[in-house]
Amino acid sequence: MNIQEFLNTDFQKWSSGSYSMFTLKIEVDGITSQENNPTIFHEYTHYLQNLTTFHGLIKLEDYTNNFLTCFAKLGSNDRDPDLPLFSYTDLQQELGDKNLNNLISSRYIGMEHNGTNYTFYDCTEDDYILVKEEVRNPYTNKLYTLTYICIDGKKIPLNEITIKENMAMINTLIAATGNDQISVTDLEKVLELPNKEYIVIIDYINNYLSGKNILKIVYSICELSLNIIPFENTIEKILLFVKNNETDLLKLTDDQIIDRICNHIEYEKYIEAEFKAYQKISTDKISLLDKIISTDDNEFVRILKSFYTIALSGVALRKRTRSLYTSVFSNEYIKSLVPIVGCPIIYFKKTNKIEMFDGVPDYFLNDFSYLHGALVLFIEAYTNNITKCPFVNELICKVQKNANCNVSCLDNYMVNEYENCLLTNSLNCTGIRSTNRWLLQSLT
């Protein structure tokens, strides 16, 4: 398939998928077939960003701390909380700025989100000018400088969303076309897409390095930035370097350009420091969990250990491999990665089916349904007033197989007849039950 065919027939299809780290699930609006691979690979790229970059691992630590803090605050030591649990507003007040809503909002600072699309602020600067503004992170409540790229009278922020979506867009194009070679004409068609957050870095680099392998260079630039914290400073430093050294860089091969950028940001020095820092965070967390918690008493703690085990595999992979870029993104490539870092479930909404890639590690796969169930329960209870079992429509409950599962289990979740129901098991493993809550309180 060429780019024009892809944009005409598949653009809406790939852009209708989603990935959630909160529930470890890729959703696809299509059916279980090869034609959905561009969507699946786009969303799997986001999973790799979470589990194999240092920015993603910091986010994992934030998410984990958020979950633990909320679980420890639910109910009291002598009684279980009513369902639905606390209202979202009550939890916001309990947590202050470090709540889930602000954690999500911190991902797209510098642009607005209406629930469907992102909108950008107007500017009068020429195209490809970089402008900087001071903004406040709603989660950390700290001021920092955010850089924007001016394109078509709009300021597109170089934030988490933009960097991650440009990487994922590149894997979408590679999966759709079968390779990473893209003509000047086809690239111009891609850059006409209305969703600027997906293409702004591609557009910027193409303006200065036209004729080079833009897909490989941009993917590498985004990947490098997500591995040196703070990533906002790194991406700005890289883009300015490209602009100021355009003439010299155009004389080099694609790999030489990437090497020059790595040298400019002292990548090897920083990656070694980041690796040691996160390795210590992960091993310390696992040691703490081993020391004070019996995993037989609290399944959710065992699941957290699995998360950190996967994260350690991710940082070890990152230390061995500067880039996870591939010129042919395929099922075979993902299968080579899942034994190391796992894979979320893939849910096809049109056919209501769930799939997983082969080769997922046992510690990941064996815990997965309960991990998924625990996170779904938490998100549902945290953000909504749940009135029915959140797992029936997810097709996760293997024991009940959706038989005789109805609203009453929410009202009677302590009754033994539901001991094999995923809802009841999730209540146990999250520590929401009073018998386990003290274990989580000792961690927060």
The number of helices, as runs of H, and strands, as runs of E, in the chain is: 20, 10
Whole-number mean pLDDT of the chain?
A: 77
Task: Note the pLDDT tens digit of each residue in 379-405.
Answer: 665 555 555 555 555 544 444 444 445
| CA 189 centroid distance within chain | 28
> Quick one: tokens of 148?
């924007």
Query: Can you give the pLDDT at residue 416?
Result: 40
Task: Note the pLDDT tens digit of each residue in 73-104.
Answer: 555 555 555 544 445 566 566 667 877 778 88
The enclosing H or E element of 59 equals: helix 54-73
Flag whether pLDDT at 190 surpasses 60: yes
- Choice between 239 and 16, residue whose per-residue pLDDT is larger: 239
Flag whether pLDDT at 354 surpasses 60: yes
Q: What are phi and psi of 88, to 5 degrees?
A: -55, -40
Choose the weakest-confidence range: 20-34, 277-291, 363-377: 363-377
Choose the weakest-confidence range: 140-149, 178-187, 328-337, 341-350: 341-350
403 Cβ neighbours under 8 A, 6+ residues apart: none
> Quick one: tokens of 172?
């979408």
- Choice between 135 and 396, residue whose per-residue pLDDT is larger: 135
Query: Can you give the pLDDT at residue 331?
Result: 83
Percent of the chain having pLDDT more than 90?
Answer: 30
- Rounded average pLDDT over 399-421: 46
Residue 223 exposure: Cα atoms within 13 Å on the Cβ side: 24
C-beta of residue 200 within 8 angstroms of C-beta of residue 166: yes
Choose the weakest-confidence range: 245-254, 342-351, 408-417: 408-417
Flag whether pLDDT at 32 surpasses 60: yes
**How far is residue 3's CA from residue 8's CA, in Å, rounded to a whole number?**
8
C-beta of residue 176 within 8 angstroms of C-beta of residue 10: yes
Query: Can you give the pLDDT at residue 220?
Result: 96
**How far is residue 132's CA from residue 148's CA, in Å, rounded to a whole number?**
6
pTM equals 0.84
Q: Beta strand 143-151 with 130-136: parallel, antiparallel or unpaired? A: antiparallel
